[in-house]
Chain A
Amino acid sequence: MKLTRESEGKMMGRGTIGGGLFQFGVIVGLILSLVCTGSGAASKPYAGTTIKYMADAEPFSDYIRKEIIPAFTSETGIKVEMDTTDYVKLHDKQVLELIAGKFDVYQIDQVWVINYAKSKWLEPLDSYISKHIIPTENYYPSLMKIGNVEGKQYVLPLSANPVDYYYNKKMFDAAGMKPPDTWDGVLEDAKKFTKAPDLWGIGIRGERGNPITWTFLPIFWSFGGTVFDDKMHPIYNNKQGVAAVEFFKKLNQYSPPGWHSAQDVAGLMQQGKAAQLTLMSVYNSSMDDPAQSKVVGDIVITEMPKGPTGKRSSVLGLWTTGIAAHSAKKGAAVAFLAYLSRFDVAKKMAFGGTVAAAMPKIFTEPGAPKYYPVVGRVLNYAQAPPLIPESEQWFLSIGTALQEALSGAKTPQQAMDDSVSQVSEILKKAGYYK
């Protein structure tokens, strides 16, 4: 089409006045866009920075990778490279990386915090908290306290997971059975359901060290067991402790042979190959995820069974996040922690169903996941494992002893005696007593 003066005028806005208005508009637009770009740069001071984040290989890390990090990047311009490692290897890898210094942000188990902080591998967060750069007012104060070592805050809560009890309601209904309320009932039902190798009465998470101990501690406490006395002497080889191990051994007969990870036993339940399970609440939502589960709607999550003492017990897992002291990108790392600590982000993670809420307010928010009331009740009696600098050695010692007892290599009494004597030596060497 040939442009005439008239058509040009029409396009420019009908005449010279219109043309002037058009030019004015362009200039205003340019100024506005420059102003906006300037304010954008000011609100994204670390845009273009890339930080490295080391996390545990669990469902909630997948959620953070897919849902949280992209939103954080689009809001701040900071890229996050996430590296996940299986739980049993995470501690070893973290210690070496914290010394070598490649990562900026770490997802840290509560039991490792004391050593990391005392080794000065973590950045104290107090100044960022006092300046309100990192919001912390919504967290459970008790969870914040776990990240406080010698008066300084080193880590922030990320996910608080108590262990709760899962059962397949469809299987129980079909068998005309009611779900058990005691550990004895769990054992009895496990026996009834087991039809190896197709169906198992229970799934036992039994990897050595922390994982098997995590499964054992709720049983142990509900049997009246105590790990240390007032003077930090280990006493879990006493009558109650050994009775708990003997019970654990009987229960383990109805779980598939082997030493399974959390993912393994969650998979058993999701595939309809186990009738019961005790596992961290972080796996609750995966039971109703059609992408992972064949038993959507069949799994009920409820409170932990009662032990012979008549009380229910659960163990509280707490994942935290902290910044490496040697990080050269602390500003961007702080921005990431501040983002994870925001109520709206924490709520999004919790409602996403994989990150367990560490803020009490989230439990009462409308639209909370259906199992939240149960998790809230379990949190009332869930207790943390022993949190001392030697925790990791204690976990390895008792976790080894539990496998020895369950496999029949030692009697429960022998296994606990050996572990107690080993842990006594460790604590003696560490100066707890002579």
Chain B
Amino acid sequence: LDDVSVARAHIKGRIRPGGYFRSERAIRITFLAPALIAIASVLIVPLLYCVRNSFYSFNLERVYEGQRFVGLGNYILAVKDKYFAGALSVSSVIAIFSVPLEFVIGFSLAILLGRPLERRSPSLKKLFRTLAILPVVLPPVVVGLMWRFMFQFTGVVNYLIMLAGLKPVDWTTRDTGIATIIVTTVWQNIPFSLLLLLAGLQAIPSDLIDSTMVDGASGWQRIRHLYLPLLTPVVFIILAIRTVDAIRFFDEAYVLTGGGPGRSTETISLFIYRNSFSFFDIGYGSALSILLFLVLMVITAFYIRVIYGRGEGL
């Protein structure tokens, strides 16, 4: 093959089968194989093994009892388990409060860090951007520990509350525990919304913004009729990723409340962890993981439909 022929073959999307490959299909399979094997071994095989385990009664701590096929028994148990329902509701509450809060604060900061700050103080803009992304680069466990110390009865939060002349708060009850989890996760994830929205805002052509100004549009009108419509795909990507993250949220909750008092702040991931690695009930834990997987699939499918329109992307 001369260079021109190879180039032509590439342009057509085909390479002529040569000595090593009998067909174009063989070429594709050969080059895709390493990636397919890697994906299958780290994603598909564990998932199938998890599905298989979900139909068995199998306790890792009592291996001497062996494995027993129970069919849908673990799934039925999950539906009847009030702690599972409780964990689902805790995760939902966290997602319902934290995702909109993160978005609203992130969007507000993105607007502030965009044009107004750039016009008035370009040097401050760099400083604010650096400070604003700090929380997201910290490991969640570190963030959890940091806030746990601050929310201790003798911690800095209660100190500030007492300075304001109020009584210190017990941050270890069910309601206050969930509040601490929401505050922590919002604090850590605001930068995620902020960075994506800031990038989206900067991609809006400045002549569009200038023309709204010439037309005398107020700040709110610009947000409502210009920024939000143009940023819709970014907004839904943020909401999709953060909703899924908030529902399978683990680290900060594990460090902050450990699911307590009792099991009242147990998130769905903590609940699965507790069953799998404290009770070592691998069968039940697997069934719960599959259920969580299905819930997340439904949420993701919903967002994808919203972003790409019905019938596309699915």
The interface of chain A, by Cβ under 8 A from chain B, is 88, 91-92, 95-96, 99, 115, 118-120, 196-197, 208, 256-259, 389, 392-393, 396, 400-401, 403-404, 406-410, 415
Contact = CB atoms under 8 A, between A and B. Distances in A.
B154 interface: yes
A392 B275 CA distance: 12
A96 B62 CA distance: 12
Interface in B232-263: 258-263
8 contacts: A92-B278, A96-B277, A208-B259, A256-B153, A257-B172, A389-B62, A403-B261, A409-B262
B60 interface: yes
Contact of B262 (A256, A258, A401): A401
A392 B280 CA distance: 11
A258 B62 contact: no
A120 B261 contact: no
B279 interface: yes
A393 B279 contact: yes
A407 B64 contact: no
A119 B64 CA distance: 5
A95 B60 contact: yes
A403 to B, nearest CB: 4
B259 to A, nearest CB: 8
Contacts of A257: 153, 170-172
Nearest to B276: A92
Contacts of B60: 95, 99
A196 B168 CA distance: 10
Interface centre among B61, B154, B264, B279 (most CB of A within 10 A): B61
Given A119-B62, A119-B63, A406 B261 contact: yes
B152 interface: yes
B89 interface: no
B173 A408 contact: yes
Interface of B: 60-64, 152-154, 158, 168, 170-174, 258-264, 277-280
Contact of A259 (B62, B260, B263): B260
Contacts of A88: 258
Nearest to A257: B170
Given A257-B153, A404-B262, 7 more contacts: A88-B258, A92-B278, A95-B61, A99-B60, A197-B168, A258-B153, A396-B278
A256 B63 CA distance: 41
Contacts of B158: 197
B277 A259 contact: no
Contacts of A401: 262
A197 B153 contact: yes
Leading 8 A-B pairs by shortest Cβ distance: A404-B262, A407-B261, A257-B170, A403-B261, A403-B262, A258-B172, A400-B262, A257-B153
B63 A208 contact: no
B279 A403 contact: no
Nearest to A389: B62
Contacts of A393: 279
B61 A119 contact: yes
B264 A404 contact: yes
Contacts of B264: 404, 407, 409
A429 to B, nearest CB: 9
Contact of A95 (B64, B173, B280): B280
A200 to B, nearest CB: 10
A99 B264 CA distance: 31
Interface centre among B172, B259, B261, B280 (most CB of A within 10 A): B261
A403 B260 contact: yes
Given A92-B278, A197-B168, A208 B258 contact: yes
B262 A208 contact: yes
A407 B172 CA distance: 9
Contacts of A99: 60
Given A115-B61, A257-B153, A208 B260 contact: yes
Contacts of B279: 392-393, 396
Contact of B64 (A120, A392, A404): A120
A99 B61 CA distance: 9
B64 A118 contact: yes
A197 B161 CA distance: 13
A393 B61 CA distance: 11
A257 B176 CA distance: 12
A197 B244 CA distance: 40
Contacts of B64: 118-120
A41 B88 CA distance: 62
B108 to A, nearest CB: 34
Contacts of B153: 197, 256-258
A120 B62 CA distance: 10
Nearest to B280: A95
Contacts of B261: 208, 259, 403-404, 406-407, 409
Nearest to B152: A258
A400 B264 CA distance: 9
Nearest to A256: B153
A406 B158 CA distance: 21
Given A99-B60, A118-B64, A208-B262, A407 B173 contact: yes
A396 B278 CA distance: 9
A393 to B, nearest CB: 6
A64 to B, nearest CB: 26
A118 B59 CA distance: 13
Nearest to B63: A119
A415 B261 CA distance: 12
A172 to B, nearest CB: 24
B172 A259 contact: yes
A258 B169 CA distance: 11
A400 B265 CA distance: 12
Contacts of A118: 62, 64
B174 A92 contact: no
A96 B63 CA distance: 12
A425 B186 CA distance: 39
A267 to B, nearest CB: 12
Nearest to A95: B61
Contacts of B174: 407, 409
A130 B154 CA distance: 55
A389 B263 CA distance: 23
